[in-house]
Amino acid sequence: MRIFKKIFSVVSLIIMTGMSNNINAQQATENALNQKQQSLIGIAVYTSKGDLSKLKTELNLGLEAGLTINQIKEAIVHLYAYCGFPRSIRGLQTFMEVLDERKAQGIKDVMGAEASPISDERSKYDRGKAILDELLGVTQNSTQSGYAAFAPEIEVFLKEHLFADIFERDVLTYSERELVTVSVLSSIGGVEPMLRSHLNICLNVGLTPVRLQQFIKIIKLTDGKKEARAAQIVLDQVLKNSK
């Protein structure tokens, strides 16, 4: 009887350990960036850097991970607001080449959904301001300061174009757009205040600290150690202030 109890205890311990490992593995998977998100980071980095050879590889990986053609197009178009039309257009041209090559190989990629029609009758400025309020998690003061007071027209452009015309399109989620945004900001460097703001937004739209730490690791692999160190410093500040 005593031997049976010992055997039962050992078996129970093995089962409990296995269950615990499975739960930990599941939690780690749930907290990690999925393959689509990881590909969006790589696509954003290589497009903004103009590294078209590596971009080709990343575009293929993104399609294989399940990103639709329209999602990838949307990500590359989104980038122009941060790294300019030339980089964005070269990214789109490279994507066209990739799609042609895959089609020649008999690969049929999914086009995916188009952006939904906008039925909101408010002005673009008001729509953009509402979207930015949602992203930030706070209602902004209508009194302008800093660069917005110095150059009011750019504040209008940001609300009407960036946050209405671009962020309002639902081909990508807010969290996907923010991953693209922090990727290009980390890549171009020297824009720490903007990176800080968008990393805070990442937290507001559901990207956990664990996922953002993984984002830094991907930046290190795709962008470089220097860019990753700079982004890590900003992320550490953001996470410290969010506690």
Q: pLDDT at residue 25 above 60?
A: no
CA distance 164 to 199: 20
174-188 pLDDT, tens per residue?
999 999 999 999 999
| 87-108 tens-digit pLDDT | 999 999 999 999 999 999 999 9
As a whole number, mean pLDDT of residues 226-239 equals: 98
Instruction: Examine the pLDDT at 7 and tell me if it is beyond 80.
Output: no
Top-confidence residue, 63 or 22: 63
pLDDT of amino acid 24:
44
pTM (global) more than 0.75: yes
Long-range own/partner contacts, residues 182-186 (CB < 8 A, 24 or more apart): 182/215, 182/231, 183/40, 183/41, 183/44, 183/45, 183/48, 183/215, 183/219, 184/44, 184/45, 184/47, 184/48, 184/79, 184/82, 184/83, 185/82, 186/45, 186/219, 186/223, 186/227, 186/228, 186/230, 186/231
For the record, the structure tokens of 176 come out as 């996907």
User: Does position 5 have pLDDT exceeding 90, yes or no?
Assistant: no
Q: Whole-number mean pLDDT of the chain? A: 90
pLDDT at 15 over 60: no
Confidence of residue 142 (pLDDT cuts 50, 70, 90): confident
- The predicted-structure confidence for 29-81, as pLDDT tens digits, reads as follows 568 999 999 999 999 999 999 999 999 999 999 999 999 999 999 999 999 99
Does residue 224 carry a pLDDT above 70?
yes
pLDDT tens string 179-220: 999 999 999 999 999 999 999 999 999 999 999 999 999 999
pLDDT (tens digit per residue) in 112-136: 999 999 999 999 999 999 999 999 9
